[in-house]
Amino acid sequence: MADETLDLHKLHEAILTGDLKVAVDVTNAALAARIDPQRLVTEQMIPAMDEVGRRFQNHEYFVPELLIAARAMKGSLEILRPLLVERGIEPVGRVVIGTVKGDLHDIGKGLVAAMLEGGGFDVFDLGVDVAPETFVRHARETGANLIAVSALLTTTMMGMKAVVEAVREAGIHGQCRVIVGGAPVTQQFAESIGADGYSDNASGAVTLARRLCTV
């Protein structure tokens, strides 16, 4: 398919509507037509995820729409990632993300991870039940600028304080900030444990991460 006949906006639409098959097909067709993968990411995919985030914040989209959009985004990114890595395109920042120790909830954390990835970050997802020292070790190994911690239980959210303390004790707080979120977490709680940022939703997490990575 030649550049002129290939409608790249279909990739934007496919992510917005969560159509994984179309997202993958258009991505493959674009690569076959020798379209710059970076162009696909910056002109179609990131704006689509930004729009998904905007609709979520305006209550036009709900969690299911967010999840299928993130799945379409990830499907396309999986095809593009090796090409982007090969070209050494610098990510906006590197984020180590996980759910706090003792907590097995991962839906919100997965959404935040997918939105950050869609926002141009390199994301290292450590999964659930992650100990403070594991966050720190991976942040060191990956050279992360941010650690993002999720908690869904009032009984586990204090574990976020242990992550903040571990980062400070390891002496990496200068280059690596800690952001927190999850249903029971509030701005006030985030400040009380010395976290660097908080958001109550996945698209807000991207805005926050961008802000912290540019200061």
Q: Which residues bind ligand B12 (CB under 6 A)?
A: 63, 102-109, 111-112, 148-150, 152-155, 179-184, 199-202, 205
Q: Which residues pair with 123 in a beta bridge?
A: 95
Q: Indicate the residue among 1 and 107 with the shorter CB distance to ligand B12.
A: 107
Q: Indicate the residue among 32 and 104 with the shorter CB distance to ligand B12.
A: 104
Residue in the structure block whose two tokens are 């029971």: 184
Q: How far is the CB of 54 from ligand B12 (least distance, A)?
A: 13
Q: Indicate the residue among 35 and 126 with the shorter CB distance to ligand B12.
A: 126
22 near 10, Cβ under 8 Å? yes
Q: Indicate the residue among 109 and 138 with the shorter CB distance to ligand B12.
A: 109
Contacts of 1 (CB under 8 A, 6+ apart): 29, 32, 33
Q: How far is the CB of 147 from ligand B12 (least distance, A)?
A: 9
Task: Give phi and psi for 194, each to the nearest 5.
Answer: 80, 20
Say if residue 3 is exposed, middle or buried (CB neighbours under 10 Å; 0-12, 13-18, 19+): exposed
201: DSSP letter: S
Q: Indicate the residue among 17 and 57 with the shorter CB distance to ligand B12.
A: 57
Q: How far is the CB of 174 from ligand B12 (least distance, A)?
A: 20
Q: How far is the CB of 134 from ligand B12 (least distance, A)?
A: 16
182: DSSP letter: S
CB-facing half-sphere around the CA of 26: CA atoms within 13 A: 24
Q: How far is the CB of 20 from ligand B12 (least distance, A)?
A: 19
